[in-house]
Amino acid sequence: MQYRTLGRTGVRVSSLALGAMNFGQIGRTTQDEATAIVDAALDAGINVIDTADWYGRGESEEMVGKAIAGRRDDVVLATKAGMPMDDDPNHQGASRRWLVAELDRSLRRLGVDHVDLYQVHRWDPATSDEETLSALTDLQRAGKIRSFGSSTFPAYRIVQAQWAAREHHLSRYVTEQPSYSILQRGVEAHVLPVAEEYGLGVLAWSPLASGWLSGAVREGREVATHRAALLPDRFDLSLPHNRARLDAVERLARVAEEAGLTLIQLALGFVTAHPAVTVAIIGPRTQDHLRTQLAAADTVLPADVLDAIDAIVAPGIDLAPHEKFDTPPALLDPALRRR
C-alpha cells in the first residue's frame, strides 16, 4: 500500500480509502459484511474510511462505528454533511445551525468523540462562506473535528472559500473530494490545478465511474451492476453518451490487457497517478469486490499506458457532462437566471 500526506495536514493516508456509501440499504450490505470489509481493508493497509450522514440517512455511519469499535486509533475517519436528511428545509446545507447539530448526531452514530475530516458534501449557495467556515473553525477548536474539507465544489468556489478564510481569519478547507475517473476527467481542467495551487489533499470519489470501469459493463453483455438497478438511465446503452462510454471501456480494456493489468487496476492506477490526487475512494459491497480493488494498491502506470488512455479519453473531458454534480445552480433553475 502506498501512503501520501493529506494536503498540508501532516497526516499520512493510504492511496486507497474505503468508502462506506454501500453499507446498509444503498448497497444491501449487512453489519456483519460491513465489519468484515472494514477488517480486511484495515488489515491490507487502508487507513482511511469515508462515510456521510446522507448514506442511508445515518445507517452507514452507524455501521462504520460498530465496525471500527476497538480500532478507532487505526482509522483516519472522514464523514460529510450537507445533503438533505428529510423534508425539513433546514435539515440540509452548510449553515452553522445545521452543521453544529448534525455533527453531534454523526458522532453519536459513529460512536466517537471526534472525526479526523469533516466535509461539506456540496456547496450551499444559500449560506455564506464566512458562516460555514466560522462554524467549522469553532467545531475544530472544540476538538470535535481535526480538519475540514469540501466535496464536489466547483473550482471557483474552492478559491472563494480560501479567500474568505484568509479575509476573516478562519481555518480553511484542507481537502476537496471530487468525482474523478478515466471517463470523467473534467476536474483536470480547473479543480485539480486549484487544489494543487492551495495545497489541498484530494480524495477522488467514483474512480470506477459507478461500475463502468469495474469490468461489469462490456459490449454484448447484459448490464447487471448494482448501480444499474438504482440508476437505469446511467447505463441505458441507447443513449449516445453511454454508447461513448461503452466504446471507451472496450478500448481501455484492450490497453489494460496489453499492459498485463485488470481494468480495475488501470482505472485506479490512473486516478492515483495524477499529482494532485492523494486518495482514490473505493466502495466495495462485498469482500470479493474489495479483493479485486486492493489488487490496484501498488499499481503504477508507465507513461506509455497513460498516453494510451489520453488517446481514448482526452484530458479534461467528461464523457457524461451532465453527471458532473457541481453545475452552478443558475444553470439548473431558470428562476435564478431570470430573476
pLDDT beyond 80 at 220: no
Lowest mean pLDDT among 79-93, 101-115, 229-243: 229-243
pTM: 0.94
pLDDT at 211: 92
What is the model's pLDDT at position 274?
A: 98
Half-sphere exposure of 276 (CA within 13 A, CB side): 23
Q: What is the pLDDT of residues 314-326, one digit of tens each?
A: 999 999 988 878 8
In a domain, 195, yes or no: yes
| Residue 60, domain member (yes or no) | yes
Task: Write down the pLDDT at residue 229.
Answer: 59
How far, in Å, CA of 149 to CA of 35, rounded?
26
Residue 333: per-residue pLDDT: 83
Percentage of the chain surpassing pLDDT 90? 87
Q: How confident is the model at residue 228 (pLDDT cuts 50, 70, 90)?
A: low
Does residue 227 register a pLDDT over 80? no
- Over range 217-230, report the average pLDDT: 67
Q: Does residue 293 form part of some domain?
A: yes
- pLDDT at residue 230 above 70? no
pLDDT at 224: 62
Closest to 78 in 3D by CA, of 281, 226, 223: 281
Residue 199 near residue 275 (C-beta atoms within 8 A): no
Q: What is the pLDDT of residue 269?
A: 98
What value does the CA radius of gyration of the chain take, rounded to a whole number of Å? 19
**DSSP character for 298?**
T
pLDDT of residue 319: 95
Q: What is the pLDDT of residue 255?
A: 98
Task: Indicate the range of 39-43, 61-65, 163-167, 319-323 predicted with least confidence.
Answer: 319-323
pLDDT at 223 over 80: no
Question: pLDDT tens across 47-84, in order?
Answer: 999 999 999 999 999 999 999 999 999 999 999 999 99
Q: Hey, which residues are catalytic here?
A: 55
How far is Cα 79 from Cα 77, in angstroms, rounded to an integer?
7
Residue % of the chain over a pLDDT of 70:
96
Count of C-beta atoms within a 10 Å radius of residue 316: 12
User: How many domains does the chain divide into?
Assistant: 1
Q: Which residues of 111-130 are buried (b: 16+ CB within 10 A; e: fewer)?
A: ebebbbbbbbbbbbeebebe
Helix/strand/coil for 296:
coil
**Is 337 part of any domain?**
no
CA–CA distance, 55 with 327 (Å, rounded to integer): 22
In a domain, 271, yes or no: yes
pLDDT score recorded for residue 12: 98
Mean pLDDT, residues 12-31 taken together: 96
The CATH number of residue 100's host domain is 3.20.20.100
pLDDT tens digits, 95-130: 999 999 999 999 999 999 999 999 999 999 999 999
Confidence (pLDDT) at 215:
87
The pLDDT of 234-239, averaged and rounded, is: 86
Domain that holds residue 158: 3-332
Give the mean model confidence (pLDDT) for residues 162-168.
98
In a domain, 338, yes or no: no
Residue 270 lies in a domain: yes
298 lies in some domain: yes
